Amino acid sequence: MRLHQQRIIVTGGGSGLGLAVVERCVEEGANVLIVDRVEERLNEAQARLGDGVKGFVGDVCSMSSMQSAVEAAEEAFGGLDCVIGNAGIWDYSRRLDDTDPSQIEGAFDELFRINVLGYITLAKASIPALVRSRGSMVFTVSNAGFDAGGGGVLYTASKHAVVGLIKQLAHELAPAVRVNGVAPGPINTQLSGPEAMNMADRHIDELNLPENVGPGLAIGRVPETREYTGAFVHLASHQDSSPTTGSVLKVDCGIGIRGMTRAALGQKLIDKYS
């Protein structure tokens, strides 16, 4: 097993991609502390996945909460080998021109607080433990961290920031701790949006990505959530990725090579404002 006896924290691990990553890590032999805001999700995961999984109700935007999560992992497992930052929200590809001006400041604060600050607090809290174990950090990016069209301005900017965060942390923590990321393509999960945009109750699976997006992808389909988890296992594994730091593994369904397949999105603005 590639993660035999490794001790891992996964944030946003109670549902969607995070839960799939937890399940795969357990299969690969790891002990996992799941951080999530919803206690019911944690209880269900613990009951189903067994004693190697512990739940922690926490807020990734809170420094003290992440410090407590690290302490809980060390107490439960005797140490910490990897943290996987995954908690995030999406802006449903809301274009800037279509965004209510009164929502921009609040939505910016909310998206960057969860998508960027939530990774920084996890990183800061885990540095001492990971230095002791010569461990690693892995952060969920997105195809939007590299290419346009995976989100709106706010989400895309937040994921570009995460790419920079990974590179800077890898630089600061080398050679003691490796820092990498995974950039998935479309995922048909219950990812929600910012409250400031009245999207907190929306979920990405409402968009029926397999039918509406899948045929346009280079691989011809939207993968099952589980299919993305191997990239996280690879980067968390000491034996598989020990030379790798400061990198982002793209598992984006070929979005980066799709080419010129769409008309200019700004064409409607000419009609609107001219």
d(CA 76, CA 153): 40
**Backbone dihedral angles phi then psi of residue 62, each to the nearest 5 degrees:** -105, 120
Does the annotation mark 273 as catalytic? no
Cis? peptide before 184, omega within 30° of 0: no
Q: How many CB atoms lie within 10 A of CB 3?
A: 25
Is 59 in contact with 65 (CB distance < 8 Å)? yes
Biggest CA–CA distance in the chain, Å, is 65
Is 121 in contact with 62 (CB distance < 8 Å)? yes
Residue 101 CB burial class (10 angstroms; 0-12, 13-18, ≥19): exposed
d(CA 217, CA 232): 22
Which of these is catalytic: 92, 119, 155, 228?
155
Q: Which sequence positions are flagged as catalytic?
A: 155
